[in-house]
Every structure is written in C-alpha cells, then in structure tokens.
Amino acid sequence: GENVEQHPSTLSVQEGDSAVIKCTYSDSASNYFPWYKQELGKGPQLIIDIRSNVGEKKDQRIAVTLNKTAKHFSLHITETQPEDSAVYFCAASKHNDMRFGAGTRLTVKP
Amino acid sequence: NAGVTQTPKFQVLKTGQSMTLQCAQDMNHNSMYWYRQDPGMGLRLIYYSASEGTTDKGEVPNGYNVSRLNKREFSLRLESAAPSQTSVYFCASTAPLRGDYEQYFGPGTRLTVT
C-alpha cells in the first residue's frame, strides 16, 4: 500500500520567515495530494491541494509543488504569522484510499 | 450547513465494553470515512464507504465494524474495546463523483479505553 513520509516532525520559525514541509510517497498511482492544517482540539482542514497533472499551485501565502518523477511534494508558507502555528499533514490519495504523513508541528514565534 | 457532526465528543470505556460512534453529514456527499489519530502517526483509515450501501476496509480495520445507515450517516462500532483502541476518531466525507476530492472532517471523538 501507499506509504507517505513527512519531514520535519517539528519546525520553529520567526514571524515573517518562510516555512517548508516536505513529503514523499511510494505509490506512483496516487493522483491527489492535499495538505491539511489541524488546530488543537479540531479536525483537520484542507488548506491547499494539487492533482497529479499539475506541478505547482499557489494560494496567497501558501504554495505546493509536486515532482511526480521523484514522488515528492512540498508545502511552502511565506511571510509566516503566529496564527499559522498548527500541525500540518500531507496526504496522498488514489480513489478512496488516502494515506497521511505523520504531521509537522509548526510554531511561528512573534 | 452543520457540515460533518460526530457524537459523542468524549467517551471512556472499560476493556471489553462496546460502543458505537456516530457520524452524519449534511453536504449530500457520497463517500464517508473513519480515521483514527494517534500521536506521531498521523491519521489512519479504518473503513470507508464509497457510496450508500457499500463499505470497505482501510489500513487498520481490525476490531471495528461500520454501517452506512443511509447517505447521511456512517457509524463505527467497537464490539469489545481494547486499550489499543484509545485514540481520537475522525469521520470525514467527500463528493468524488462531483469532482470534489476534499475531505471534510468532523470535530473528532476522543476515546479512552481503560
């Protein structure tokens, strides 16, 4: 089955700096790659996603890149703010089977 | 719309007890999912239902059963709870037939088995 690895497990940045989280996947048939943000005590919420036919997608301060050949994808957050502090999960999916990375705890220090 | 709702929010069980976790969505989604979340392990798929009337095993189905009661509701049952099932359980739904692959998550049920 699909295996998703996510790095780093924790990340601390200064407000205004950029943050990058990386994921690799094993199943070349995976075709949908979402990123979720989870705040304490809440369910994960989608922040950006990318399909396998696209290499890059951007939404304001958030961007995702996908390298299908190398089977890795990354989340980039620019101009970080304290409210970006949360746990971020990547996932890789085909059909109804979505596999998640172990998560990255991002802390943005004011 | 309430989105995805889950009951209960918290539950403590003794080993061997049974319980059912309830999930409902009001977004007319076809597909529904149950995940468990453990520290350092992300979310793992327990069971899913691609459409009303169908259910399939996910990554970690042992010790669980599910019922897709109708299009709105998808329940998860623990027949004989074990301490290893202490976790936070999330229900999610999506509408792949409409081209919407985003999974919408409920607020979670925190289950402790002693």
- pLDDT tier for residue B42 given thresholds of 50, 70 and 90: confident
Q: Tell me how crowded residue B21 is: count the other CB atoms within 10 A of its CB.
A: 23
Q: Which residues of A touch B4 (CB under 8 A)?
A: 43
Beta-strand relationship, B10-13 and B109-113: parallel
Chain B residues touching A64 at Cβ < 8 A = none
Token code pair at residue B24: 């409902």
Task: State pLDDT tens for residues A7-49.
Answer: 999 999 999 999 999 999 999 999 999 999 999 989 999 999 9
Asked if A43 and B108 come within 8 Å (Cβ–Cβ), the reply is yes
Q: What's the rounded mean pLDDT across residues A50-75?
A: 93
pLDDT at B97 over 70: no
Mean pLDDT of chain A: 94
B3: left (phi over 0), alpha (psi -120 to 50) or beta: left
Interface residues of A toward B, Cβ cutoff 8 Å, are: 1, 4, 6, 9, 32, 34, 36, 41-46, 49, 89, 93, 96-103
| DSSP code, position A95 | T
Q: State whether A46 and B96 contact (CB < 8 Å).
A: no
